[in-house]
Amino acid sequence: MATLEDLGVSAFINIVGAFIFLLLFAVLRIQPINDRVYFPKLYIAKKRTHDHRGARRAINLNLCTYFKFLSWVPGALRMNQTELIHHAGLDSVVYLRIYTLGLKIFLPIMVVALLVLIPVNVSGGTLLNLKKDVVFSDIDKLSISNVSPGSNRFFIHLLMAYVFTFWTCFMLYKEYSNVAFMRLHFLASQKRCADQFTVIVRNIPRVSSHTTSETVEEFFRRNHPDHFLGQQAVYNANRYAKLVKRKERLQNWLDYYQLKFERHPDKRPTGRTGCFGFCGGEVDQIDYYRARISELDKRMASERQKVLNDPKAIMPVSFVTFDSRWGAAVCAQTQQSKNPTQWLTDWAPEPRDVYWENLAIPFFSLSIRRFLISIAVFALVFFYMIPIAFVQSLANLEGIEKVAPFVRPIIEVKVVKSFLQGFLPGLALKLFLYILPSVLMIMSKVEGYVSLSSLERRTASKYYYFMLVNVFLGSIIAGTAFEQLYSFFHDPPSEIPRTIGVAVPMKATFFMTYIMVDGWAGIANEILRVKPLVIYHLKNMFIVKTERDRERAMDPRNIQLGENLPSLQLYFLLGLVYAVITPILLPFIIVFYAFAFLVYRHQIINVYNQEYESAAAFWPQVHSRIIASLLISHVTLFGLLSTMKAAYSTPLLIFLPLLTIWFHKYCKSRFEPAFRKYPLEEAMEKDRMEHASEPSLNLKTYLANAYLHPIFHMFEQEEQKEETTLEVRIDKSQQQQQQQHHVRSSHTQYEERNTETHYYHEERSSSQYQYQYQHEETHMRSEQSPPHFVYHHEIQP
Amino acid sequence: MATLEDLGVSAFINIVGAFIFLLLFAVLRIQPINDRVYFPKLYIAKKRTHDHRGARRAINLNLCTYFKFLSWVPGALRMNQTELIHHAGLDSVVYLRIYTLGLKIFLPIMVVALLVLIPVNVSGGTLLNLKKDVVFSDIDKLSISNVSPGSNRFFIHLLMAYVFTFWTCFMLYKEYSNVAFMRLHFLASQKRCADQFTVIVRNIPRVSSHTTSETVEEFFRRNHPDHFLGQQAVYNANRYAKLVKRKERLQNWLDYYQLKFERHPDKRPTGRTGCFGFCGGEVDQIDYYRARISELDKRMASERQKVLNDPKAIMPVSFVTFDSRWGAAVCAQTQQSKNPTQWLTDWAPEPRDVYWENLAIPFFSLSIRRFLISIAVFALVFFYMIPIAFVQSLANLEGIEKVAPFVRPIIEVKVVKSFLQGFLPGLALKLFLYILPSVLMIMSKVEGYVSLSSLERRTASKYYYFMLVNVFLGSIIAGTAFEQLYSFFHDPPSEIPRTIGVAVPMKATFFMTYIMVDGWAGIANEILRVKPLVIYHLKNMFIVKTERDRERAMDPRNIQLGENLPSLQLYFLLGLVYAVITPILLPFIIVFYAFAFLVYRHQIINVYNQEYESAAAFWPQVHSRIIASLLISHVTLFGLLSTMKAAYSTPLLIFLPLLTIWFHKYCKSRFEPAFRKYPLEEAMEKDRMEHASEPSLNLKTYLANAYLHPIFHMFEQEEQKEETTLEVRIDKSQQQQQQQHHVRSSHTQYEERNTETHYYHEERSSSQYQYQYQHEETHMRSEQSPPHFVYHHEIQP
């Protein structure tokens, strides 16, 4: 067990680490050359332009600016909430509220706990007399373990458990109510956008004599005759997307060699073609890549024709639009078909939020996928524990020494010992956790969720289970198991609960170390952005030629909810579990919340660019995880007290989890529908207001291509090269004329419509994106290349 | 532990008991005097009339009929499924399918188990050698306990567990699909009825300047402008209902004394008025009761005025009707208000199915009620165990003898011993369970569900938990605890799982006894209807004067789903748990299913009168309980095998529960929506068909008073006495004229409308009730007297 001294070493290392990171950040951020690494969001929001950067030198020589190394802090606090919602979206703002919620919950708890519990624990000093075999540290003298078993002092701990739970619930209720209000207000004040009118329909049954589009058309005309407006079929363009990716790769190489040639015009770059450039004939690289690209272009053209003309390329999914929010709300919330596995309707996610790859998974396959993935997650969560447990055991050097006395000479070197105990376990754990989110995200994708926001939420939920079992339980039980190895095998099994109960407070130092490594140093690392910094400069060196390329080289990233939510939830868990048991842990958590709040507020203002806006859809998850933490803290305390012979006070604890569960159920029914459904009252109100203010609005035109697959822009581009763009006006009479006419039989028509296809990408950076009917070529190439293609077959000129 | 001989005695007692019940039934049912006890359903369905009975004598003297004591069996099988649905409703038919499902699942399993497992178990004979302390019986030689630990024979049991699970799942899938189809078909072929067009709205917020009716009107006109038709407010008439009850009691006494006076016209009945007739002045009873009734009539009249005129009597609940099934389906399935605790909409239950008392419970109160009741159920389930455990312990006489050797002389008397062991434990348990359903029903009512069908389902669910913990687990663990008292305190605790594992097969004989007492004799008792028989004849003797009174004295009852579903589910649990462990239990279960099927089919045809039709809404519960039984059987087998040193075979068992859970999830998403939601496709189809066949239908008139509180009929009656009935015709133009006019301001109007108020009660006996616009006085007084009063304020002549 780590002593206070080890903890001091760890704190020192981490604080110095954090300080170095901050210092580096202070130096790097004021270099104009790094401007696009540290302020990409401002570029995207057009609050900073290349002129601004170009006017200065690459290196900042103004010495004054170097001394203000914390100057970013006031900047992080400068926007108020409304501005921040406008700047970065509601998701980001509500995400920040999790940190403030942490502060609101734990600051008062910490004050009370330090004032009341620490004196109670310190004056109870009996741990030394009671258990001689179990190794423990000075920290334990401040914890509940120090109170003598059977003492009446446990009533104070019990009272505190009640007070802390009620306070937490009170804050949770206030926050849930706030966030729900913010969400409703946000949705109500949102400008018109396509997802308000659109429903995603999955599992459309195949009718032999009809095309999918005809089936959809017929079904909704029959069952929603008053409100159905139109539909957008989804095309399967997996192969085309692959070709696009390959072309992009070739284009990058071509750019690279052209740049090389420009720098050394005397020597045309050459190379071998086969086996990674080691064999094959010598060729001129520029000519070679040009030839391959033009060959690829031909294949892409033929593939494009295939996607558009092959009836099998249409998938049994469709985006169905309605003429009012009311109609869409009704369709999204009701069951359509007698067979509940067909015609599944749901709110369409925002166009930016759609995960196109998963649209076509049939119901039965979905059901199997979710089952298999849940087994896989279970296995991952529980078998990952083996390496973690091994690393954890290193934290208990005394335990190792007992079992393997021969390593004592090495470990006993003071610096090695402190380093091992203070730094290693947290770091090793963090490394383990580094690759995990990507694995979990892939799993979520396999599960078949159709929006990026739900994928992130699912990932967060998997990651939370992982953290709970491996970081929290794993650290407590496995670590203890190793320590108490000897006792375990020789005492009767009835002693086990007692030993575990004692182990929870003993693990406090480990978690303090963990908070310092993961929370303090980790957050400082977040603000430094080492990886994006390196990658940006590498790209800048080899690929970037134009201003647009530089824009593409920026990597603003986003909040990474899938990874950050569970970490945050772990801190809530630690705080709530140790609030009564070892309150000295709370200041560490408070420091984390305050520091992380500043850092993330800075990053949200200057760096992150959210890809979608889910209007705080993740809050119910945050809420229920904190409730789960409360319950775990009750169970832990119950287990601990029952080993402390606190026979009078322990039974009184039973009501606490019951009340918490009731509170959770009440909150769930009171607030959760605001996050899952769209009330008709609201829909009707907005419809009416809109109708009053814009009676002549042509919704059909407005919605025509809202759910256009990004790959469609590739098609556009290709077509543009080949033909002259025709300006097309759509009016309703023409539409109606041609409604029955199917585009796929007459491919040439669709090329005329590239004027209305790009509107939603224009405001990708703003949370309340508005649609503009302008055609900006700049964003064309910045699109990624997913494998499907959406095409609206109704709006034809 | 009971030996084979004890089991024989028990079987003998129960078979003789069942035989006597059947014989008695055979004799009693052919007595014309009992006709209304054994064939009430036929009277209600007008398939048998009083003339039919009146033509014969009170006692059957035709000797031939006495010999055919099983003659009811062919009668029970005579109707086919379609006729039975028409005769008794879908609920009854689907309830019978649970028994056939039991047969379908367990007959093949029994054949396979007896042919494969019994030989395997018998030839494994090592139980005697292994454990000398644990007492066991001959039955165990046929069970898995007889196989020597570590044997490879366990692979056969494992294989069987897989085969049985797959077979059960297959049958469950087929049955779920059948029942879902039957339900959809039933709903589709149902004639027009009010609940298809009606949505119940709860938690209507109070707006200060408006009445509740105006608020509702405004809200739905605004948010469902195209489909809203009208609404029926619900009045709080609790006090009036109390007065009605009191009057009924007085009326009964008056009837009694009048009858007495008629029989002995020489002596007018007298009595004392105070203190239960022991003190106070001597009065003429007939005059006394007449006076009290007329006094009560006056109070009722003033209370009636109060209900109609007091604005506080209107509750924040309303039945809102729509002009199409589509409109109602939309409103029922969507969220209405921004505040999810207000304007809660749901399908209105059938008018017969409404539980009026619970309509006005506010949301917050509901949430607290459910929480408190779930704690109460938990307490009931777990603390009820103490008496049960004590009674259970009696079943193990050897155990008692070990602990208390002085009772040995009494117990050792052979007849006493066999009686105690074979009959007592099952009977005592049954007695305990007798009062329970009523308690649980009261708990469900407190929880605040608004329909009788959901109340029954909730009761069933509570009762199931009770049975699971107390009958199943309680019998296994508590019984074992007593038996193995000695071992428990002296062995190390790690032996506990092993002992429990061994106890499961040892409890097989107890459950066989239980099946015989509860299943065989209990079902025979069900057909005899002792209690209704006695009560009917008592009523006949003291109260019945007219034919209508005789009709009221009939007590057909209904299936009592709340009580019968959990019992049935317990048999599934026993069958599935013991199928692999002690297959000799299966024949007992098969006999139960076959016998109970016949008896219940007979009762459904001739006796029971379902009060409502939920169209098999209970099936999802049946399905998931059987799945739960499967899971419990897997866990039990896993526990058992792990004590049997079957190290190779046990891990293979892990996939079974996983597959079962997946199967359940799949079924849930595949079929459950058919039981919870009403697809728009279906609604639209029916709307269209109706519109084509009856274009001139006046829905508004049709729906006018569909959700009229039964107590309204009392009002009608009262009014009738006072005034002449006016025949009123309603046509649409008049309605529209007066739509804004509120009835409560002009009370006299409503008296003119008693012609359209009784239509739905006419066909109370038929499952597919049709509305008739006739006014039959006969049913008036048969209405019970719940405490609210519904009044439609729109349809005014």
Model confidence pLDDT, tens digit, residues B421-462:
666 666 666 666 777 888 899 999 998 888 889 999 999 999
Contact B337 A679 (CB under 8 A): yes
Closest CA in chain A for residue B684: A223
DSSP 8-state assignment for residue A194? G
How many Å lie between the alpha carbon of B461 and the closest alpha carbon of chain A?
20
pLDDT of A699 above 90: no
Nearest chain B CA: its distance from A681 CA (Å): 5
Closest among A621, A689, A771 to A188, alpha carbons compared: A689
φ/ψ region of B746 (left if φ > 0, alpha if ψ in -120 to 50, else beta) reads beta
**Closest partner CB to A669 (pick from B367, B493, B658):** B367
The alpha carbon of residue A165 and the mean position of all alpha carbons in its chain are separated, in whole angstroms, by 28
Q: Which of B339, B361, B369 to mutate to test the interface with A (most CBs of A within 10 A)?
A: B339
Produce one character per residue of A561-591: b if its CB has 16 or more CB atoms within 10 Å, e if not: bbbbbbbbbbbbbbbbbbbbbbbbbbebbbe
Give the per-residue pLDDT at B544: 73
Check if B77 contacts A (Cβ < 8 Å).
no
Is A365 an 8 Å CB contact of chain B?
no
> Which residues of A, range 664-683, sit inside 8 Å of B by Cβ?
665-666, 669-674, 677-682
Mind telling me how many Å the CA of A224 is from chain B's nearest CA?
9
How far apart are the CA of B464 and the nearest CA of chain A, in angstroms? 22
Of B335, B658, B677, the CB nearest to A375: B658
Q: Residue B2: what pLDDT?
A: 53
Tokens of B47: 């398939």
Q: Is A457 within 8 Å of chain B by CB?
A: no
CA closest to B370 among chain A residues = A662
Q: 165-184 in A: which are within 8 Å (CB) of B?
A: 184
Please indicate if any CB of chain B lies within 8 Å of the CB of A338. yes
**pLDDT 10s digits, A343-399:** 888 888 888 888 887 887 777 888 889 899 988 888 887 777 666 666 656 556 666
Q: Which two tokens stand for residue A398?
A: 């005394």
User: Number of CB pairs < 8 Å for A and B?
Assistant: 118
CA distance, residue A368 to nearest chain B CA (Å) = 8
pLDDT at A530 over 90: no
A471, A392 in Cβ contact below 8 A?
no
Sign of CA pseudo-dihedral A156, A162, A166, A167: positive
What tens digit of pLDDT does each residue of B294-338 get?
888 888 888 888 877 777 778 888 899 888 889 998 998 888 888
Instruction: Say which range, A26-40, A650-664, B755-769, has the weakest mean pLDDT.
Output: B755-769
Residue in A closest to B676 by C-alpha: A335
Please report, as a single letter, which amino acid is at residue B31.
Q
ipTM rounded to 2 decimals: 0.74
Of the candidates A373, A449, A444, A372, the residue with the CA atom closest to the CA atom of residue A202: A449
A-chain residues near B492 (CB < 8 A): 492-493
Q: Does the pLDDT of residue B735 top 80, yes or no?
A: no
Look at A181-195, B482-496, B568-582, B781-795 and tell me which has the smallest mean pLDDT: B781-795
Percentage above 90 pLDDT, chain A: 14
Mutate to test the interface with B, among A173, A324, A365, A367 (most CBs of B within 10 A): A367
Of B333, B368, B674, the CB nearest to A340: B674
Q: By C-alpha distance, which of A282, A263, A266 is closest to A274?
A: A282
Cα separation values, A275 from A255, A280, A564, Å: 21, 8, 42
Chain B contact present for A770, CB below 8 A: no
State how far residue A608 is from chain B, nearest Cα, in angstroms: 32
Query: Least CB-CB distance to A681: which of B223, B329, B678?
Result: B223
Please tell me which residue of chain B has the smallest CA distance to A671.
B340
Residue type, position A269, single letter: P
> Which neighbouring-strand residues pair with A597?
none
**Where does the pLDDT of residue B279 fall: very low under 50, low under 70, confident under 90, or very high at 90 and above?**
low
CB nearest A338 (choices: B364, B658, B679): B679
Question: Are B662 and A224 within 8 A, CB to CB?
Answer: no
Contact between B634 and B165 under an 8 Å Cβ cutoff? The reply is: yes
Instruction: Please state the rounded mean pLDDT for residues A91-115.
Output: 93
Q: Is there a contact between B680 and A494 if contact means CB atoms under 8 Å apart?
A: no
pLDDT of residue A478: 55
Please report residues of A whose CB lies closer than 8 A to that of B672: 340
Surface of B (679-738) touching A: CB under 8 A: 679-682, 684
**Alpha carbon of A683: minimum distance to chain B alpha carbons (Å):** 9
Share of chain B above pLDDT 70, in %: 73
Give the containing element (helix H, strand E) for B466: helix B452-466
Q: What is the pLDDT of residues A396-439, one digit of tens each?
A: 666 666 666 776 777 677 777 776 666 666 666 666 677 788 88
Q: Using the beta-carbon criterion (under 8 Å), do A677 and B335 form an inter-chain contact?
A: yes
Contact B228, B221 (CB under 8 A): yes
Nearest CA in chain A to B680: A336
Q: Inspect the interface and report whether the beta carbons of B337 and A671 lie closer than 8 Å.
A: no
Contacts of A493 in chain B (CB under 8 A): 492-494
| pLDDT, mean of residues A441-452 | 89
Decide if B340 and A674 are in contact by the 8 Å CB cutoff: yes
Nearest to A665 among B226, B334, B367 (CB): B367
Chain A CB contacts of B216 under 8 Å are none
Give me the residues of B, 485-544, that contact A with CB < 8 A. 492-494
Dihedral of the CA atoms B746, B750, B751, B754 (nearest 10)? 180
For residue A788, the model assigns a pLDDT of 42
Closest CA to A390 of A436, A338, A416, A429: A429
- CA distance to partner chain A, nearest, from residue B483 (Å): 22
Q: What pLDDT, in 10s, does the model give residues A29-59?
A: 878 777 788 888 888 777 776 544 444 556 6
The type of residue at A180 is A
Q: Give the residue from B227, B225, B233 showing the smallest Cα distance to B202.
A: B233
pLDDT tens-digit series, residues B28-54: 887 877 778 888 888 877 777 654 444
In this predicted structure, what is the pLDDT of residue B739? Answer: 42
Name chain A contacts of B657, Cβ cutoff 8 Å.
Answer: none
In the structure, what pLDDT confidence band is assigned to residue A167 with cuts at 50, 70 and 90? very high
A376 near B CB under 8 A? no
Nearest to B672 by CA among A345, A346, A368, A340: A340
Q: Is the pTM of this model over 0.90?
A: no
Q: Quick one: which of B611, B543, B553, B546 has its CA closest to B777?
A: B546
What average pLDDT does range A696-701 have in this prediction? 78
**For position B385, what pLDDT does the model report?**
61
Interface-testing mutation among A224, A335, A669, with chain B (most B C-beta atoms within 10 A): A335
Provide the pLDDT for residue A499. 57
B368 touches chain A (CB under 8 A): yes
Per-residue pLDDT band for B728 (boundaries 50, 70, 90) equals very low
Q: Could you tell me where the beta strands, DSSP code E, fall in B247-380?
A: 270-274, 279-284, 314-322, 344-347
Q: Which of A226, A658, A662 faces B226 most closely, judged by CB atoms?
A: A226
Contact A338 B672 (CB under 8 A): no
Find the Cα–Cα–Cα–Cα dihedral A29, A32, A33, A38, rounded to 10°. Answer: 40
**Cross-chain residue pair B336–A681, CB shorter than 8 Å:** yes
pLDDT beyond 50 at A162: yes
CA distance B699 to chain A (A): 21
Continuous H helices in A404-528: 408-411, 414-422, 424-434, 436-447, 452-466, 474-483, 485-490, 496-506, 508-514, 522-528
Q: Does A218 touch chain B (CB under 8 A)?
A: no
Instruction: Return the number of other C-beta atoms located less than 10 Å from residue B410's C-beta.
Output: 10
Judging contacts by C-beta atoms under 8 Å, the chain A residues touching residue B341 are 669-670
CA dihedral A331, A335, A337, A342 (to 10 degrees): 90
Out of B224, B658, B673, the one facing A335 most closely (by C-beta) is B673
